Structure 1
Amino acid sequence: MEVQTDPLKVFIVHAHPEEKSFCAAMQRVAVEEFERQGHEVRVSDLYAMKFNPVASKADFNNPSNPHYCSYALEQRHGVATGTISEDIQEELEKLLWCDLLVLNFPIFWFSTPAILKGWIDRVLVSGKIYGGRRFYDFGGLAGKRVLVNVTIGGQEHMFNPDGVHGPLQLLLSHLLRGTLAYTGLQVLSPFIAWHVPYISHNARCEILTTFKKRLASIGSDTPLEFQSLNNFDENMRPIASRGNLFLF
């Protein structure tokens, strides 16, 4: 059953080097389905854009300290003064614009492709997205949601709790918790396309059908639970009278 929601502003960040890949097909299906629902969609195809993943001094056109680069501090200065690199500013504007962020990528070594990691390093800027007590439910992206879509060569049973690799969500905790939840995003359960290089065309079509159904009901998704800063004192020590939750 499709859940009707108010129109959303959806920002899809796609990171796959092959435009004919199943991962790319998922990205196209996501655009079509969200637009069919009446949502506004913007896409950053990082490989097609030739997005620069390397965080460096070149990101700052008017550094506060030209003699030593403290990257996080220069991010704050660059955003505050409007002198940060143009490609970062453009991505940051899309990120702040959206209600729903969608990350679409293949699993590389239980992680993201390097180009997506570079997007994270450069675009999730200190001062605006995180910094000081600005993290978890107090993060700069609080109130927004994120859906992670991944393709993987492994079979689903290999990622069961007693499987050879253990749960994929646990292996991705560096992204789901350490990056996305940390910045304040409400993290939805990832959509995982299993074993895609080795299955039949019909099996891939079934995955896309399941994916469409997931996107059609995105408004009813319950986010994963992470820590709240309300459970900690000003020194980030747990408040004994309040429960503390560590999902991953």
Structure 2
Amino acid sequence: MLDGSDLKSVRKNAGISQTDMAKKLDCDRRTIINYEQGVCEPKASQLFRWLSVCKIDLKPLAAQVRSTKESLFLLFTLTIISPYIASVFYVGTLSSCALYGAIRKQKSILQISLIAITLYTLEFNSLSYFEAFLSNLINDQLKVSVIYYMFQIAFSILGYSIFTYIIKKNHWHYAENPRLSNLVRVIPLIYIYFATIVTLHLIDFYIDEKYNYTFLSVFYTHYENLIYIGMSLIIFTLVAMVVSHEKELKRAV
């Protein structure tokens, strides 16, 4: 299989910068550096996307992977684990919960779903433009990266603040259903989780760039998956709220 130096060579031959490759793989530039230095290996989906972006014929690689008896599974799951598909699934599921809340006139489910969709959509669509703006404004790549991560942290803190305010505002409404109340209170904690992951990611990036020391490298290696965990928790919480409300309606019949 390909090692870090091979990936670097392929990228350079295609005339693609590390920053551009990071955007195409929906990750940060440091992750690209880690792949090329052999600190960690890209997932199968990212490897295939890397080569596809560089316009490399994937047939020989697919044949090599097939020899390990893993290719059918990997090729089948490429689209499933794509960050874009994950984003569409996330927003789609939240939209379904919002629709349920509107139909059932369940204000809490509708409200939480719409706010979560809005926060995610704003962050997802604004990050690339924000990074491009910073890169044109600031020449120091380290400063650009630090501000970029702080921008993500700010969105998580904003989410925490909004949902905390909603919980306090609707305290008596939620108190009518203790289970619903407990589920709602989980949402702000998930945004604290997001902020913590990105903060640790930022700390490790900074000290590695400054001192070449990666004691928190696990947050680079698994950063994408850790973010997916938070997204899954939001989906699970909203689905649990829907189930709880349906059970409540059946008991009332």
Q: Please indicate the TM-score interval, normalised by the length of the shorter structure.
A: under 0.3
Larger proportion of strand? 1
Larger proportion of helix? 2
Q: Which has the higher contact order (CA 8 A, sep 6+)?
A: 1
The structure having more radius of gyration, on CA atoms, is 2
Q: Give the TM-score, by structure 2 length.
A: 0.27
